[in-house]
């Protein structure tokens, strides 16, 4: 099996499919009322999210990462020794200690 390649955020294109990303949560914004608060705190600022098999859609001129039933996501706390370049959402290809 070949190693997984991750797409840098700046290389994402509209309508792209089967995207693998490593991103850092910069902020949490809750839009509207929430009926179920049981999972609202899963994505906290500074968490690392590894996303497999996502797709990119356009919405009002902005690109969105779409999480549907085909997506596989893993949430990890950001390690202190990770270097986040200019606090961008992509980890810049920095090794997270996993063997891919």
Whether the predicted model's global pTM rises above the 0.85 cut? no
Segment 34-71, tens digit of pLDDT: 666 556 667 778 888 888 888 999 999 999 888 777 77
Query: Given this model, what pLDDT does residue 85 score?
Result: 44
Q: How confident is the model at residue 89 (pLDDT cuts 50, 70, 90)?
A: very low
Cα–Cα distance, 99 to 88 (Å, whole number): 23
- Domain coordinates of the chain in residue numbers? 15-30+38-81
Cα–Cα distance, 33 to 45 (Å, whole number): 20
Q: Is the pLDDT of residue 6 over 70?
A: yes
Q: Identify which of 72, 53, 56 has the alpha carbon closest to the alpha carbon of residue 64.
A: 56
Tell me if 4 sits within 8 A of 52, measured CB to CB: yes
Cα–Cα distance, 91 to 67 (Å, whole number): 20
């Amino acid at each position: 099996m070949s190693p997984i390649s991750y797409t840098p955020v700046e290389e994402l294109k509209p309508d792209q499919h089967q995207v693998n990303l490593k991103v850092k949560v910069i902020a949490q914004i809750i839009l509207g009322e929430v009926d179920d608060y049981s999972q609202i705190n899963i994505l906290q600022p500074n968490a690392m999210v590894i996303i497999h098999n996502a797709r990119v859609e356009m919405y009002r001129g902005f690109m969105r990462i779409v999480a549907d039933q085909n997506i596989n996501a893993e949430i990890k706390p950001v390690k202190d020794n990770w270097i986040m370049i200019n606090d961008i959402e992509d980890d810049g290809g920095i090794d997270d200690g996993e063997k891919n």
